[in-house]
């Protein structure tokens, strides 16, 4: 089969388009013919050795995708050849070969049928970012649960995959959503998706701007995928007992941060790792997510689709900051 092979930990720029052996499903696996794959920042981090997983080389990236079932292992029941399924969170693209290939083997308990009314494109890039956003929004209670309706949610990097997912899920939870994006066109799109307030994070008066928009309220929960120099401003906006779910660090490390700013308002920080979701939890959460989106009449957002041969161009677009997901059309 054709695949994008990762021969080193020198970045996605060094990926090689070539031939790889056709994979064989185990007794609890499904073999899929990949139609669409999706690119994630986690792929680029793994390719640079900046991810906890260190799979043997050559490796094939790709954690999301949609494909047609070719065959199932001896222990697989309920899914037949010819069905179209999407990949939920699992070791695909991490410890085992991923979806940037013509075929992929996926654990049968880590696939989901395409929700009714959804296109293959909408399904292809949705699971990882929406499961991540769900964990970021719900991880602060035991058992996990959505924030109280009416709470204020701040989303940084709001036009990215996790950002859009957090905005949509936040609105499904009846939260007041403040979305940050550097691009005016993307801010207009976020407003269309339901964000209550949209602001430019590069504005030198950002804290004053958010404060003015919220009037007497403050931020109860932030989903931050940026970090960097923006992080101290996020802390300054937090309410007493506010929570910050850290999803990523596209803005680089936080170089200057006074930890005392956390003290008197008891601001809490928490990392997000969707890898903590086992198969059964991922299935249950995904069903909840799909139900909420359908109830709202909303769908995952696709920025653009690149041909299979142009995966490197797709990663370049991802690095620029897309509006939604970058997909790869592996097969028609």
**Residue 257 resides in a domain:** yes
pLDDT range class, residue 332, cuts 50, 70, 90 = confident
Q: What is the pLDDT of residue 255?
A: 86
* Residues 140, 101 share a domain: no
Asked if the model's pLDDT at residue 256 lies above 90, the reply is no
**Radius of gyration for the chain, computed over Cα atoms and rounded to the nearest angstrom:** 20
Return left, alpha or beta for 260; rule: phi > 0 is left, psi -120 to 50 is alpha, else beta.
alpha
What span, in angstroms and rounded, lies between the C-alpha atoms of 86 and 34? 10
Q: What is the mean pLDDT of residues 36-43?
A: 96
**Residue 288 resides in a domain:** no
% of the chain beyond a pLDDT of 90: 92
Q: Domain of 249?
A: 128-274
224 by Cβ neighbours in 10 Å (0-12 / 13-18 / 19+) ranks as buried
CB 125 within 8 Å of CB 149 = no
**Residue 40 resides in a domain:** yes
Asked if the model's pLDDT at residue 327 lies above 90, the reply is yes
**Residue 123 resides in a domain:** no
Q: What is the mean pLDDT of residues 51-71?
A: 96
Q: What is the mean pLDDT of residues 59-73?
A: 96
**Residue 151 resides in a domain:** yes
Q: What is the mean pLDDT of residues 20-33?
A: 96
* Residues 168, 108 share a domain: no
Tens of pLDDT, residues 278-321: 999 999 999 999 999 999 999 999 999 999 999 999 999 999 98
Q: Which of 238, 235, 228, 222 is nearest to 202 (CA)?
A: 228
Backbone angles phi, psi at 190, to 5 degrees: -65, -35
Q: What is the mean pLDDT of residues 48-75?
A: 94
How many independent structural domains does the chain possess?
2
Q: What is the pLDDT of residue 147?
A: 97
CATH code for position 241: 3.40.50.720
* Residues 15, 101 share a domain: yes
């Amino acid at each position: 089969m054709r695949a994008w092979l990762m021969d080193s930990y020198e970045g996605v720029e060094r990926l090689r388009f070539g031939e790889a052996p056709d994979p064989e499903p185990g007794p609890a696996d499904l073999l899929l013919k990949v139609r669409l794959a999706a690119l994630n920042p986690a792929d680029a981090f793994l390719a640079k050795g900046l991810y906890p997983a260190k799979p043997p080389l050559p490796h094939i990236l790709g954690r999301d995708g949609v494909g047609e079932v070719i065959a199932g292992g001896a222990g697989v029941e309920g899914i037949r050849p010819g069905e179209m399924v999407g990949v939920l969170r699992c070791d695909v693209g991490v410890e085992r070969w991923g979806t940037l290939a013509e075929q992929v083997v996926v654990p049968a308990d880590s696939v989901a049928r395409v929700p009714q009314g959804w296109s293959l494109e909408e399904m292809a890039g949705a699971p990882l970012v929406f499961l991540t956003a769900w964990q970021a929004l719900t991880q602060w209670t035991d058992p996990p649960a959505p924030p109280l309706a009416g709470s204020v949610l701040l989303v940084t990097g709001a036009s990215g995959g996790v950002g859009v997912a957090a905005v949509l899920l936040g609105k499904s939870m009846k939260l007041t959503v403040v979305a940050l994006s550097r691009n005016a066109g993307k801010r207009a799109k976020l407003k269309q998706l339901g964000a209550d307030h949209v602001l430019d994070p590069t504005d030198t008066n950002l804290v004053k701007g958010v404060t003015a928009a919220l009037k007497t309220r403050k931020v109860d929960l932030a989903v931050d995928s940026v970090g960097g120099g923006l992080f101290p401003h996020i802390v300054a906006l937090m309410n007493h007992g506010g929570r910050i779910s850290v999803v990523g660090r596209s803005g680089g490390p936080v170089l200057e941060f006074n930890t005392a700013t956390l003290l008197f308002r008891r601001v809490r920080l928490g990392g997000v790792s969707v890898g903590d979701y086992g198969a059964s939890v991922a299935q249950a959460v995904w069903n909840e997510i799909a139900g909420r989106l359908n109830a709202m009449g909303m769908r995952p957002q696709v920025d653009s689709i690149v041909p299979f041969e142009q995966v490197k161009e797709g990663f370049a677009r991802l690095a620029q900051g897309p509006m939604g997901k970058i997909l790869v059309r592996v097969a028609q």
